[in-house]
Amino acid sequence: MNAVSTSEPLPSVESELRSAPPNALVETARRLLGDRAGAQDVTLLFVDYGLRVLRPVAPGTGEPLSAYDGPAGRTFTAQTPVVEPSGDGTATVHLPVTVRGDRLGVLSARLPAVGADPAGVRELAEFATALGHEIATAERDTDLYLLARRTRRLTLAAEMQWQLLPGRGCEGPEFVIGAHLEPAYMVGGDNFDWNTDGTHLTVTITDGMGRGIDASLLTGVTVGALRNARRAGLGLADQARLADQAVYAQFGGKVYASTLLLRFDLATGTVQAVDAGSPRLYRRRGDTVRQIELEAQLPLGMFEETAYEEQIFAVRPGDRLVAVSTGVHGARSPEGDLFGEEALRRALDAAPTRAPQEGARSVVASLIEHFGSTDLEADAAVVCLDWHGRDSVTP
């Protein structure tokens, strides 16, 4: 953004956003864009938990918009700025607000058409990214941005699960991840998690037994135990073993958590895997989609002191991996028809070139269409990962 003329250097946009109170970031963004780019009608829209609508963060600043259609929806889906010209010498610019692959929403601003040229849009896109990073920090201290994500009240179990998640996307030079949960406002036992340290990427998908708050408590113990073991520097099999002991110690084998654990070597594409239960893993390579067959081992917490073994497979640049919980591959329609592997393959085939975030959303959309309602009978979790690899990795 071109700064107005002044005898004193203006504070950087980043520093002004950082100094704003957590609940005043939208107001600060509106002032900064007005002063430095002549912007009007600045609106920050957040996508809801169901990935269906974009809702204004500041109450009373507009109606929810589709997260699929219209200029703002296209911006969110394609993750690229959209310029909407007007006949009065202005243009509305819609910009994706994304933090390290986690898509938060869209920033829209009406400004003089001269400011909507390619250079101006690039600067505005950088501003939207900086705003997203500050919001990610501010969420520790205010509920404002969390409330903008919901179209209705969450159940207590869903509240606990969404707070447990790392986000709905993550990216690095070697990979891009997109993930989604349904039913978004009532999810109880399903969870996904990831962590990267520059050398390895660890991904887990967990399907906690039961429904509601009991399932959420079980999954909370499972994910906490897995993180604790991972942060202690243990290998994948030992992470599963210690989480198994923690869940059994808490619940005595009465309930258990089916979990798929994956650890990627970022330099080579070698993947260590522990299949502790029912989540399934599929790989799209070229035009072929097939399930990666792993040795099924006992779910975490079913028995005391279960031993787990790692399996090895490899990914190549261009591969897409999709992990799904039982609520996806085992879902049935009201008529009793199984969603099943063929329907899942068709959903994967329908979105081969979309970003992983849209790939995960496409699988969930196909599942909801099959079931006939967003109020699924079982939790459904989908994690979609595109592997790019490093230059040294050869197919």
pLDDT digits (tens, 9 = 90+) for 170-210: 999 999 999 999 888 998 899 999 999 999 999 999 999 98
pLDDT band of residue 365 (cuts 50, 70, 90) is confident
pTM equals 0.90
Determine what percent of the chain is predicted with pLDDT higher than 90: 71
What is the pLDDT at residue 11? Answer: 67
What is the pLDDT at residue 147? Answer: 94
Q: Phi and psi of 92, rounded to 5°?
A: -100, 125
| 42/19 Cα distance (integer angstroms) | 20
**Mean of per-residue pLDDT scores for the chain:** 90
What is the pLDDT at residue 394? Answer: 42
What is the pLDDT at residue 351? Answer: 65
Of 326, 50, 360, residue with least CA distance to 189:
326
* Angle, in degrees to the nearest 10, between helices 156-164 and 212-231: 20
270 Rama sector, left if φ>0, alpha if ψ -120 to 50, beta otherwise: beta
What is the pLDDT at residue 133? Answer: 96
Pick 344 or 254 by higher pLDDT. 254
- Both tokens of 275, joined, read 């299949």
| 53/46 Cα distance (integer angstroms) | 8
| 235/338 Cα distance (integer angstroms) | 36
Cα 116 from chain centroid (whole Å): 30
Query: How is residue 23 annotated by DSSP?
Result: G
Q: Compute the radius of gyration of the chain from its Cα atoms.
A: 22
| 199/213 Cα distance (integer angstroms) | 36
Spatial strand order of the sheet with 257-265 comes to 190-196, 200-208, 257-265, 270-276, 311-314
- Both tokens of 148, joined, read 């903008």
Query: How is residue 63 annotated by DSSP?
Result: -
Pick 356 or 8 by higher pLDDT. 356
What is the pLDDT at residue 4? Answer: 38
Task: For 197-247, give the secondary structure using H, E and C.
Answer: CCCEEEEEEEEECCCHHHHHHHHHHHHHHHHHHHHCCCCHHHHHHHHHHHH
What is the pLDDT at residue 1? Answer: 57
**DSSP states of 301-358:** TSSTT-----EEEE--TT-EEEEE-HHHHT-B-TT--B-HHHHHHHHHHT-SSS-HHH
Query: Residue 140 in contact with residue 352, Cβ under 8 Å?
Result: no
* First-last CA distance in the chain: 43
- Both tokens of 311, joined, read 């399996």
| Residue 19, burial from CB neighbour count under 10 angstroms (0-12, 13-18, 19+) | exposed
Pairing of strands 280-285, 102-112: unpaired
- Both tokens of 242, joined, read 């210690």
The per-residue pLDDT for range 230-289, each reduced to its tens digit, is: 999 999 999 999 999 999 999 999 999 999 999 999 999 999 999 999 899 999 998 888
Segment 26-53 mean pLDDT: 94
Residue 371 has pLDDT above 80, yes or no: no
| 280/276 Cα distance (integer angstroms) | 10
- Both tokens of 115, joined, read 């400011």
Residue 138's SS3 state is helix
Query: Residue 297 in contact with residue 260, Cβ under 8 Å?
Result: no
